[in-house]
Amino acid sequence: MKPARRLESLPTYFFAALDEKLKVLRAQGVDVIKLDMGSPDGPPPGFIIDALAQSAADPTHHGYAGYLGTPKLRQAMVAYYQARFNVGLDVDSEVLPLIGSKEGIAHMALAWLDPGDLALVPDPGYPTYRMSALMAGAEVYDMPLLAESGWLPDLEAIPADVARRARLMWLNYPNNPTGAIAPLSFFEHAVSFCRRHDILLCHDVPYADVCFSGYQAPSLLSVPGAKDVAVEFNSLSKSHNMAGWRVGLAAGNRQAVHALMQVKSNVDSGLFLAIQDAALAALLGDQSWIAGRNAEYERRRDLVYDLLVNDWGVEVAMPQASLYLWPRVPAGYTSSEFAEKVLLATGVSFTPGSAFGPHGEGYLRISIGQATERVIAAVERLRSFKF
């Protein structure tokens, strides 16, 4: 009796291991402030919750809801892309609801990669890009994200033999973990590169609606011809404070969307109808509340940025989007050592950059996804921290 060999290449998911550590500290009476995980702290607006309750109260809404999502939900997703990004999508073939975008990201590897194939993955990057490729039996080539390059991968530095073998590339802007943004010109270059090398370009964009100071993140699908080579993954987790509801979407290239649906239809049975109706309300309802939510995030960002620059004196960029700051670790520590030192001394939990890949070493990811009063309390503790 033993697990499959593929698990030998998969470490325990970092945040699962961190949660176990934090449970021990809490049991010892430590008031832990979690500035590690990027989960919105507030609920969605009441009209979204009301839509869920009303739909769930319908006795006919508790059976299987279909693999493709309801036509109304798919149409709402199409309408969102048109209104938000000026991107047109075919409702029947270019959009697919997901049980959260993480599920779709993992299943995309099964849909597109055979054993021995190659995936191009940003480093540092969201761990699921890498782990899903490994679970599919594929190999991974790391694309370094470096400060001097604005945290954008140098596509032309990818060796020719690697580009020939690659079948899938992951991008993610606004970026997790660095908070970096990408100009439309970079997306144009990425589309051209992937067309040239016959690579499926997968763009993960859950932070597109978490933006500050007037910045609006673009969709990669707004690049002319992008749908020839690209599929984009989006989520209501960050945009509409619905992280636990597990609803997202894949949009773009018809062949990729269909392949993803083939996998999903064999491993899940679709979204609960009441969740779909709530997502419909979220996408088509009043969006004005998002600006106020983002303004509160911006206030928290500024509090943490001020601490890092003026109290700690560490190097950090001011993010224009996402839930994260990405400061350098003070000299003399690894990212894990420093995060551990901060946690034990102050009860404030950060994520070491090494959790996102080898090129994340030397950095910390700090989340602003906690209530403002908790962020203020964390900053006060951290001001007196000595390192």
CATH of the domain at 347: 3.90.1150.10
Let me know whether 102 and 148 are in one domain.
Answer: yes
The Cα–Cα gap between 177 and 122 comes to 11
80 token code pair: 């969102």
pLDDT at 103: 96
Q: Residues, the chain, total?
A: 387
Strands (E), 215-302: 230-235, 248-252
> Residue 386, SS3?
coil
Let me know whether 313 and 212 are in one domain.
Answer: no
Let me know whether 261 and 296 are in one domain.
Answer: no
The Cα–Cα gap between 384 and 141 comes to 41
Of the three residues 260, 284, 308, the one that is the final residue of a domain is: 284
Of the three residues 227, 255, 284, the one that is the final residue of a domain is: 284
* Helical axes 273-284 vs 46-56, angle rounded to 10°: 150
Strand ordering across the sheet containing 248-252: 95-98, 248-252, 230-235, 200-204, 166-171, 118-123, 139-144
The Cα–Cα gap between 277 and 201 comes to 30
Q: How many helices (H) and strands (E) does the chain have?
A: 13, 12
The Cα–Cα gap between 119 and 138 comes to 7
Cβ atoms of 308 and 314 closer than 8 Å: yes
Of the three residues 230, 262, 284, the one that is the final residue of a domain is: 284
Let me know whether 275 and 298 are in one domain.
Answer: no
By residue range, what is the domain housing residue 33? 5-43+289-383
Let me know whether 273 and 306 are in one domain.
Answer: no
Let me know whether 31 and 83 are in one domain.
Answer: no
CA 181 to chain centre: 13
Let me know whether 18 and 97 are in one domain.
Answer: no
Domain count, the chain: 2
Let me know whether 264 and 198 are in one domain.
Answer: yes
- What residues in the chain have per-residue pLDDT under 70? 12-13
pLDDT at 98: 98
Let me know whether 261 and 338 are in one domain.
Answer: no
Buried b (16+ CB within 10 A) or exposed e, 69-81: bbeebbbbbbebb
pLDDT digits 0-9 by tens, 266-282: 999 999 999 999 999 99
Let me know whether 95 and 173 are in one domain.
Answer: yes
Q: CATH number of the domain that 269 lies in?
A: 3.40.640.10
Let me know whether 296 and 226 are in one domain.
Answer: no
Let me know whether 192 and 267 are in one domain.
Answer: yes
- For residue 231, CA distances in Å to 238, 252, 284 come to 19, 4, 23
The Cα–Cα gap between 52 and 61 comes to 11
pLDDT digits 0-9 by tens, 293-330: 999 999 999 999 999 999 999 999 999 999 999 999 99
- For residue 332, CA distances in Å to 47, 336, 338, 347 come to 50, 12, 9, 21
